[in-house]
A and B are shown apart, each in its own frame.
Chain A
Amino acid sequence: MKKSFIALLVVAMLILATFTGCSNGSKTDAPGETDTNDETVKNELVVPSEPQEGEVLTIGLSSSPKNLDPVKYTGTYESQIIQNVGDTLVAYKMDLSEIVPNLATSWTVSEDGMHYTFKLRDDVYFHPGEYQDGRQMTAEDIKYSLERSLELSAMNRLDMIESVEVINDFEVVVHLPNPNSAFLTALTNSGNIIVPKEEVEGWGDDFGNHLVGTGPFIMKEFKYDNETILVKNEKYWAQTPHLDGVTFKVVTDASQMANALRTGEIDFAEKLTGEAVKIVREEANLKLMETPGLHVAYIYFNQVNGPTADIKVREALLKAVDREQLVQGIYQYGEAQPASLPLPPGSWGYDESLESTVPEYDPEGAKQLLAEAGYPDGFKTTIHISDTPHRVKMATILQQFLKMNLNVDLEIQTSEWGTFSEIGSSGNADIFAMSWTWYPDPYFFLDKIFATSAIGSLGNGQGFSNSEVDKLLAEALIASEQDERAELYKDALKIIVEQYPGIFYSNENVTWGVAPEVQGLIQRADGSIFLTNEEINVWKVQ
C-alpha cells in the first residue's frame, strides 16, 4: 500500500512538472515588481529628451561571425560587425533610397562610365593599432584597400574594377575596364572598407582578429563563437558615438535569443523568427521592430530536366497554389507579406504592374494545363529544402496543394545547408526552395538568379537561360542612369515572369527585438545594423 501511494505521488509530480512547461511567460514579472490583480505592472521607462552618454549596447547575433578580415568575410553576421568598425567610400542612406558620400565627399563619372573620380575627406583617422598609431587616412589607403579587395576578395566584391590611381592625397580615380553601374553599390559593401596597410601586413592572416578601420567603434576583442567587444572611437569623423561600446554576443538558439532579451542579457536581438516574434510582441517590456525586407522567398523549378522543363507544367504548378494561404500557413506571426515577383517591392526595379500577370489560384485551370502537358493523372517529383522549420512548413503545405489539385506527389527532401547547397547548384533538383536578400539594385537579384552565366551556382542552380533576358541584363548593367536601368530591368522581369520559373511567395520582414532603453535605432530594409554615422547615433537610457 505504502509503495503504491509513493509511486502515485511521484507520477503526480511528473505530470505537474510537464505542465509547467506549457504555460509560456504570458505574464512575466520582472524581479522586484508587484503583481496586482494578475496583471503585470508595466515598468514605465522615463526617456530623457536629450541623448545620454555612456552605456554598452549588447547585440545578439544568431550565428557566429567567423573571420572579420573584409576580403575574407562571407556573410551578414561578419558585416554587422565590420560596418561598425570600418567605413566605405560611399554608403547607402539609411532608407536605402540613394547612395551618398561617406569617406568620399563627392565623385564624378567620366562620359564612357569607365573612370570614377572621388574626392576624399581630410579629417579621417584610423584607429590606433599595433602597427600604426592612428594616422590620417589618405588616397594611398583607398588605393591599397580597393586593390586588395580586387585581388583577394573571396566573393569578388570588386571584380568590376581594374585599378585605382592616386591623384593627390585626397583624390583618387578608379578605372573600370567596362562600364558597370553596380560599381557604386559594390563599394558600399563592408568587404570594401578602407583599411591601413601597416596593420594588414603586420597581422597577416590574423588581421581579422585585430580589425582596424576608421569607423565609430574600435575593435577591442574578438572571441569567436562567443562575443566581439567594440569600444567607442572618440575621434570618429562623423560624430562621436553616444555609446561607450558595443558587444556582439552569439546566441544560436532562437528561443534562447528571446529569453536573453527578456532577462536583459542582451539589449537587441538582430533576428527573431517564429514564436519568438510573438513573445517579444506581447512582452510589455520589449519593443518589436518590423520593416518589410529586401527579401524574396521562392520555390524554383528545374528549367532543363524533369517534368518542370515544360512551361505548361510550371504554369500549372503555379496555378495550383494559393500563395496567400501558403504565407498565412507558414508565417503565423505576421513576419512576412505574400509576394508574386522575383524582386522585393523595395527594389527600384520592381514593377507593380507585373503583379497581375502572375497567375492567380486556379485549381481547375491548373488541372487542365497539366492534362494538356501530358500528365492528366499527375506525376511524382521531389522538392529539396534546407532544414529550417519555415521551409518544412512551406513544403508540407505545398505538398497538400499539389496532391489535392493536381494529384502530383511531392516528396520532401530535407538536408542541412552544406548538402542542400550542393544539390541545389548541381542542377539535379527537380524543385528547390530558397530565399534571396541583397541590395535594392536589381542586378544583385536578377543577374544572380536568372542570368545564363550564373548557372552552376546556387542562385541559378535550376538552369534558367533566356538570351533576351541576358541581353537586357547586360545592357542594364552598363546604362548609367538609374531610370534607364529600371526600365531595362522591368523589361527583363516581364520576360522572366512569363516563363513561370517558380513560385515567388513571400517577402519577409526584418524583425528586431529591442529593449526600451535603446533609443535612436533605425531599422533598414536590408537588415544592416549601423549604430553611428552621419544620420544616426544610437544611445541607451541609463
Chain B
Amino acid sequence: MLKTILNRFLQIIPTLLVVVSITFIITRAIPGNPAATLLGPQASNEDIAKLEEELGLDESLGKQYINYIGQLLKGDFGKSYSFNQPVSKMLINRLPNTLLLSLTSLVLAILIGIPIGIISAVKQYTPFDYISMIIALVGVSMPIFWLGLMLVLIFSVNLGWLPSIGMGSIENGIGDVLLHMILPVVCLTTIPTATFARITRSSMLEVINLEFIKSLRAGGLKEKVVIYKHALKNALPPIVTVIGMQLANSFTGAILTETIFAWPGMGTLIVGAIENRDYMLIQGAVILTALAFVFINLAVDMIYMIINPKVSYDSAKGGA
C-alpha cells in the first residue's frame, strides 16, 4: 500500500507538467487575442499592442512557456490578465463557494441515491423499482438550464419563497446563505442522485444473483445482513468510482447552475476566463482541477484496497 502511494505521488509532477503544457498550447492555439478581447471593440491597434507588451504576449511562445514553468516551480501562478489579481488568490477565494454547492449536492446524492438503488435492486420489478428508475432517467436527461429556470419561476417568481440569484452573505446570517443554496443544490443534485441510484442498482443486481449470496441466505443469515454487509460491500467498487468522478467534478463547479443562479463560483470564473482569453487564469484553474483529479483518484484506489484487501497495486499478485 505504502509503495503504491509513494509511486503515485512521484507521478504527480510529470502528470502536471503534461497537463500544463497541453493547456498552454491549446489556449494559445484558439483564435482570439487576450489583449484585443480584453480591451473590446473600441480599442485601436496601438492600444492592443501596448497591452500585449505589458502582458508579455509579444515575446516568443517558447520564452513565454519557460517563464511560466519557471514561475510555477516557485509556486507563482501568475496574475490574471482581466482582473489583475494573483491567480492563486482568486482560485482560493472561489473554491469554497463552489465546494459549498457541489459537496452538499454530492452528500445529498449519496444519501438519497444509494438507498434508492439498493431498494430498487432488492425489490426488482416492483412498482418502486419502475417508478424510481423512470424518475432517475428523467433526472439524468433533464437539461439543468431548464430545471433551474423552472424552479426559479415556481419558487421565486410565483411563490416568492426562495431567492433567485446570488449567494446571500454571511453578514445576514447563515440562514441567508442556506436559503440561497436551496434551489442551486436541488438543481445540482438531480443528476448525481439519478446516476448513483442507477449504478447502485445495477451493481447490486450483479452481486445479488451470485452464488455466494444464495449460499449465505441458505446458511440462515438474516436478509438485512446479507444485503448490507455482504452484497453491498461487493457492489461498492463501481459506485465508489462514480462517486470519485463526481467528487473530482465538484472542483470545476457546475457551470450552468452557477450561471443561472449567479453563484460566484469556479464555474463562472473559468468560463469567463476562457471568453476573455485570460491564459493565466485558465491555466491556473486547469492545474487545480488536475490536482483534484489526481488526488481523488489516489483516494479512490486506496478505498478499493481497504474494501477488498485482495486488491493490490503493489505487485502483480492478487485480483483486480
Contact = CB atoms under 8 A, between A and B. Distances in A.
A259 B42 contact: no
A252 B83 contact: no
Interface stretch (A138-146, A210-218, A451-459, A520-528): A451-459
Chain A CB count within 10 A is highest, among B44, B146, B160, B161, for B44
A418 B165 contact: no
A225 B268 CA distance: 8
Contacts of B161: 31
Closest 6 CB pairs of A and B: A418-B32, A31-B160, A226-B264, A418-B37, A419-B31, A66-B82
A67 B85 CA distance: 9
Given A259-B164, A438-B42, A67 B84 contact: yes
Interface in B126-150: 127, 130-131, 134-135, 138, 146, 149-150
A68 to B, nearest CB: 10
B100 to A, nearest CB: 14
Interface in A13-51: 14, 20-21, 24-25, 28-31
A155 interface: yes
Nearest to A437: B42
B180 to A, nearest CB: 10
Interface string A200-244: 000001101100000000000001111100000000000000000
Interface string B103-144: 000000000000000000000000100110011001000000
B39 A74 contact: yes
Given A225-B268, A417-B275, 14 more contacts: A6-B127, A24-B153, A156-B46, A205-B84, A249-B166, A256-B152, A259-B152, A259-B156, A417-B32, A419-B30, A438-B42, A456-B45, A457-B48, A459-B42
Contact of A251 (B85, B135, B150, B165): B165
Contact of A69 (B30, B39, B84, B277): B84
B137 to A, nearest CB: 10
Secondary structure type dominating chain B contacts: helix
B131 to A, nearest CB: 6
A538 interface: no
B287 interface: no
B111 to A, nearest CB: 24
Contacts of B85: 205-206, 209, 224
B39 A253 contact: no
Nearest to B165: A260
Interface of B: 30-33, 36-48, 50-51, 79, 82-85, 90, 127, 130-131, 134-135, 138, 146, 149-150, 152-154, 156-161, 163-167, 259-262, 264, 268-269, 272, 275-277
A265 interface: yes
Contacts of A422: 31-33, 36
Contacts of B262: 226, 249-253, 256, 260
B68 to A, nearest CB: 19
A182 to B, nearest CB: 13
A252 B259 contact: yes
A263 B44 contact: no
Nearest to B79: A205
Contact of B163 (A6, A205, A253, A265): A265
A311 interface: no
Nearest to B39: A74
A31 B159 contact: yes
B109 to A, nearest CB: 21
B167 to A, nearest CB: 7
B48 A224 contact: no
A3 interface: yes
21 contacts: A7-B134, A20-B154, A21-B150, A31-B161, A66-B83, A155-B43, A205-B85, A223-B264, A226-B264, A256-B152, A256-B165, A259-B149, A259-B157, A260-B164, A263-B163, A417-B275, A421-B37, A456-B45, A457-B44, A457-B48, A458-B36
Q: How large is the interface on A (under 10, 10 to 19, 20 to 34, 35 or more residues)?
A: 35 or more
B83 A154 contact: no
Nearest to A155: B47
Contacts of B166: 226-227, 249, 265
A502 to B, nearest CB: 15
A260 B152 CA distance: 9
Given A10-B134, A251-B165, A448 B42 contact: yes
A224 B269 CA distance: 9
B150 A263 contact: no
A253 B41 contact: no
Given A225-B272, A459-B41, A154 B164 contact: no
A381 interface: no
A30 B156 CA distance: 10
Nearest to B33: A422
A422 B33 CA distance: 7
A160 B45 CA distance: 16
Contacts of A20: 150, 154
A343 to B, nearest CB: 15
A2 B194 CA distance: 24
A271 interface: no
A72 B152 CA distance: 36
A425 interface: yes
A499 interface: no
Chain B CB count within 10 A is highest, among A3, A224, A419, A459, for A224
Contacts of A155: 39, 42-43, 47
A482 interface: no
